Amino acid sequence: MNEIDKFKEEVRANIRGLMDDHDVQALSRIWVREIARHKYAYNFSWMGRPIIQFPQDMLAMQEIIWATKPDLIIETGIAHGGSLIYYASLMEMMQLDGYVLGIDIDIRAHNRAEIEAHPMHKRIQMIQGSSIAAETVAQVAQHAKGKKSVLVILDSNHTHEHVQQELKHYAPFVTKDNYLVVFDTLVEDMPDDLIQDRPWGKGNNPKTAVREFLKTNDQFEIDKAIEAKILITVAPDGYLKRVR
């Protein structure tokens, strides 16, 4: 075994150790719960735009994009556009032949203006409309047609029904060995007082939709190694790899 392979095996062993360390896993869940009270995810930006994600998840996404070399990244939920710009910048740095497609039911004018004025806009396209509307899905299908490697990220309306519909419509776009990433599955694990004025909560959120989805779909498996190694994540059980 050469030195590079030895290091990779060491990392795999580290991850296995983290998976087996129930105390560390529990501490991580407590930490996530407490930082949520301070809107921790709102504190970061990428190339000038709010990204509203945990840095640990974004590093995991970088690893996925490097490994899978997508020529199309589909993301539902745009908000300030920071994650679109992040994914686009990674594609630019990696010199990939592709772009990011963002979908949102309401792309606010000030956010659209900032995204369109950004240097990374050249790798971004956007669709305004409900991610589960038939006309939206049809447009996305045209973008996905003929693509060799497609990564899908779901981060819009977090109710069980909405995410369940997104999983139904968007899972087929994901190519084998790439990922369907469902963000904010942690809602299921948060105390009730942290879910304020939202239509989702315990029993009605992305994680419950993922559980239902996996009961009838054997093409995807949860990649538990990602969650184990980053520890701090908004997507527990949400990194789904297409294996078939």
State pLDDT tens for residues 38-69. 999 999 999 999 999 999 999 999 999 999 99
Provide mean pLDDT across the span 5-32: 96
Domain tally, the chain = 1
pLDDT > 90 fraction of the chain, expressed in percent and rounded: 96
State which residues form the domain around 88.
3-242
C-alpha torsion angle, residues 214, 69, 60, 169 (rounded to 10): -30
- Strands 239-242 and 150-154, sheet pairing: unpaired
C-alpha R_g of the chain: 18
Question: Over the stretch 131-174, which tens digit does the pLDDT of each residue have?
Answer: 999 999 999 999 999 999 999 999 999 999 999 999 999 999 99
Continuous segment of H or E residues that includes residue 42: none
pLDDT of residue 70: 98
Contact 28, 235 (CB under 8 A): no
Q: What pLDDT is stored for residue 195 in this prediction?
A: 76
User: E strands, 92-140, where?
Assistant: 99-104, 124-128
Rounded to 5 degrees, what angle do the CA atoms 27, 86, 140 make?
Answer: 105
Looking up residue 106, the CATH number of its domain turns out to be 3.40.50.150
**What's the pTM?**
0.97
Contacts of 236 (CB under 8 A, 6+ apart): 185, 186, 189, 207, 227
Helices 134-144 & 160-170 angle (0-180, nearest 10): 40
- Which contiguous run of DSSP H or E holds residue 228? helix 224-230
Residue 192, pLDDT score: 79
Q: Are 69 and 77 in contact (CB under 8 A)?
A: no
pLDDT confidence of residue 193: 78
Structure tokens at 206: 């992305």
